[in-house]
Amino acid sequence: QVQLVESGGGSVQAGGSLRLSCADSGVQYGRKCVGWFRQAPGKEREGVAVIDTGGGSPSYADFVKGRFTISQDNAKNTVYLQMGSLKPGDTAMYYCAAEYPNWYIRTSCGLGSAAFDYWGQGTQVTVSS
């Protein structure tokens, strides 16, 4: 029902920028949470940013706040992650994920990965010094 396809990863120098895209080609539309997560070798997966596609304010992890921006184009069913001022510590595999909450119970989107039901294949981001 949900097919997430990420793109936009690559290799950049420290201080550079990248824009990641997450397109949902599935048939289940409507208000949902779409998050970006990352995982580096030997480290646990961590939340980066999340957006409520119904118009709620996005949330960011402290380590990217002020550098990364999450946005959406609902007409294209696509969520973006604009990454600026990249650091070597940002090097990781980046994944997008989707959650369809019960909106009678939930009122916002969070960065807890256990809540997300569908995951993309990941796109590699490498930042060199």
pLDDT digits (tens, 9 = 90+) for 23-70: 988 656 688 999 999 999 999 999 999 999 988 789 999 999 899 999
Q: 125: buried, middle or exposed (CB in 10 Å: 19+, 13-18, 0-12)? A: buried
The pLDDT, as a whole number, for residue 27 is 56
How far, CA to CA in Å, does 25 sit from each of 20, 29, 87, 102, 113? 16, 10, 31, 21, 21
The pLDDT, as a whole number, for residue 76 is 87
Q: What is the DSSP letter of 88?
A: G
The pLDDT, as a whole number, for residue 51 is 95
